Amino acid sequence: MPNIKVLDFGGSIVAPDEVDTAFIKEFKVFLTKWLDEDKDNKAIIVIGGGAPARKYQQAYREIISDSDDNEADWIGIMATRINAQLIKAVFSEYCPQDVVTDPTAPESFEGRVMVAAGWKPGWSTDYDAVVLAEKFSADTVYNLSNIAKVYTDDPKKNPDAKPLDYVSWDDYKKMAGDEWTPGKNVPFDPVATKKAAELNLQVIAAAGKDLDNLQKIFDGGDFIGTVIGRK
């Protein structure tokens, strides 16, 4: 039985401003070691848009005052695709398939790594990760972003926000709201949340750059992060 891990990387981990080559090198070593431990280990790596998505969406909004959300989303999608193409090239020996741009499309999982990017407007790559988790029967999505934990509110805006070790889907839904806006900064997007809750998925949110912590998560030990949904 394959052991498939769905790694939902925020683009801020791959391209916080410029491409973080040092981190990608470290991650290559980390994941290669895990893949080499057991031939059943496989990873679906979903990549967000990071700084290029935000910068280009912002440029569009600056130029066009009544900007269109659909257009803004397509700009973001293209940023996810360039980031994903880079990660696919880095893992080329493990990843014979093209970058997945429609998470409902892959008929099979060839090789050991599958890399996915944005699909179509209306959500973030979090949703694409949930669709792939359903398709390949993975019961957990690892949401690896620029925050170590989910808080009761956005910690960048509310100094009283408290970190959470666990939050149910019902409580998380109240925090994330129902509405999608292109480039929205939330740990897990509202559209992905709705589907993940329906599937009773577990999401583990943790700092993407802390690979020692990610190892602990893989090993099933104590870790720093937030479990959302199924305990």
Ligand X SMILES: O=c1ccn([C@@H]2O[C@H](COP(=O)(O)OP(=O)(O)O)[C@@H](O)[C@H]2O)c(=O)[nH]1
**Which residues of this chain interact with ligand X, rule CB under 6 A?**
10-12, 48-50, 53, 72-73, 76-77, 80, 118-121, 123-125, 128, 182-183
d(C-alpha 198, C-alpha 173), whole Å? 12
Q: Which residue is nearest to ligand X (CB)?
A: 76
Provide the minimum distance between the beta carbon of 27 and ligand X in the complex, in angstroms, as a whole number: 16
How many CB atoms are located within 10 Å of the residue 37 CB? 10
Cα 46 to Cα 37, 68, 153, 159, 162, distances in angstroms: 22, 25, 25, 31, 28
What is the DSSP code string of 172-214?
HHHHH-S---TT---SS-HHHHHHHHHHT-EEEEEETT-HHHH
Provide the minimum distance between the beta carbon of 210 and ligand ADP in the complex, in angstroms, as a whole number: 13
| Among ligand ADP, ligand X, none, residue 103 binds (CB under 5-8 Å by kind) | none
Provide the minimum distance between the beta carbon of 78 and ligand X in the complex, in angstroms, as a whole number: 8
| Among ligand ADP, ligand X, none, residue 25 binds (CB under 5-8 Å by kind) | none
**Closer to ligand ADP at the Cβ: 48 or 202?**
48
Whether the CA torsion 139, 215, 14, 39 is positive or negative: it is: negative
Provide the minimum distance between the beta carbon of 217 and ligand ADP in the complex, in angstroms, as a whole number: 16
Q: Would you give the DSSP letter of residue 100?
A: B
| Among ligand ADP, ligand X, none, residue 150 binds (CB under 5-8 Å by kind) | ligand ADP
Provide the minimum distance between the beta carbon of 13 and ligand X in the complex, in angstroms, as a whole number: 8
What residues are paired with 205 via a beta bridge?
Answer: 143, 226
**Closer to ligand X at the Cβ: 32 or 155?**
155
Question: Is residue 228 classed as helix, strand or coil in its secondary structure?
Answer: strand
| Among ligand ADP, ligand X, none, residue 155 binds (CB under 5-8 Å by kind) | ligand ADP
Can you give the binding site for ligand ADP, defined by CB under 6 A? 10-13, 48, 50, 145-147, 150-151, 153-156, 175, 185-187
**Structural contact between residues 149 and 226, judged by C-beta atoms closer than 8 angstroms:** yes
d(C-alpha 124, C-alpha 77), whole Å? 8
Provide the minimum distance between the beta carbon of 163 and ligand ADP in the complex, in angstroms, as a whole number: 8
**Closer to ligand ADP at the Cβ: 45 or 150?**
150
